Amino acid sequence: MKRKHKMRIRSILTVYLFTLATGLTAAQGYMDDDKSYRKRMIPNLYTDFALAGLDANNCGKTECKGGEKISQGNPKQKATNIAQKAAQEATAASEAQNAAGQAAAHQVKAQLAEKAMQAAKAAEAALAGKQQIVEQLEQEVREAEAVVQEETSSLQNAQSNINAAVRAAQQAQAQLKTLTQAVQTAQANVGNAEQAANGAQAEVAEKSQLLDAAKTRVEQLLRQLSNARQDFANTKQAAYKAACAAHEAKVNAQKTRRSLSKRHLTADQLRSAIFRSLKQRRRRFMNEHNFDNDQYNRVSDISS
Region of 57 on the Ramachandran plot (φ > 0 left; ψ -120 to 50 alpha; else beta)? left
| Residue 151, pLDDT above cutoff 80 | yes
User: What would you measure as the largest C-alpha separation in the chain, in angstroms?
Assistant: 228
Please give the Cα distance from 160 to 52 (Å, whole number). Answer: 74
| Residue 84, pLDDT above cutoff 80 | no
Please give the Cα distance from 60 to 204 (Å, whole number). Answer: 136
| Residue 1, pLDDT above cutoff 70 | no
Q: How many CB atoms lie within 10 A of CB 27?
A: 21
Average pLDDT, the chain: 69
Lowest-confidence region among 182-186, 220-224, 298-302: 298-302
Backbone dihedral angles phi then psi of residue 212, each to the nearest 5 degrees: -60, -40
Model confidence over 188-243: pLDDT tens digits? 888 888 888 888 888 888 888 888 888 888 888 888 888 888 888 887 777 777 77
Task: Kindly state the helix (H) or strand (E) to which residue 231 belongs, with its residue range.
Answer: helix 106-262
